[in-house]
Amino acid sequence: MAIQEIIAEINKLPFDQRLELLERLAHSLRDEWEPKPARMASVGEVRGMLKSDAPAPTGEELKSAYTDYLLEKYQ
């Protein structure tokens, strides 16, 4: 059946049946139409991107770096 024939048959339906058809069509397309959440996609893409061969800084090193940052910022 060609699309023109389908449209012709749809136009013959009463309003309430056309509305129901529209709702069912919208529901069937919703999963394909809605994009995936951007956050989940970006996490998967950047995983491991910031990984370094150097060891992670210690808590004391982080405190010192943050203190230095605040001193520079507010002087």
pTM score, two decimals?
0.42
- H or E segment at 29? helix 15-33
In the chain, domain spans? 1-37
Residue 62: what pLDDT? 93
Q: What is the pLDDT of residue 40?
A: 64
Backbone angles phi, psi at 33, to 5 degrees: -80, -40
How confident is the prediction along the chain (75 residues), in pLDDT tens digits per residue? 799 999 999 999 999 999 999 999 998 888 777 766 666 657 767 777 777 788 888 999 999 999 999 999 988
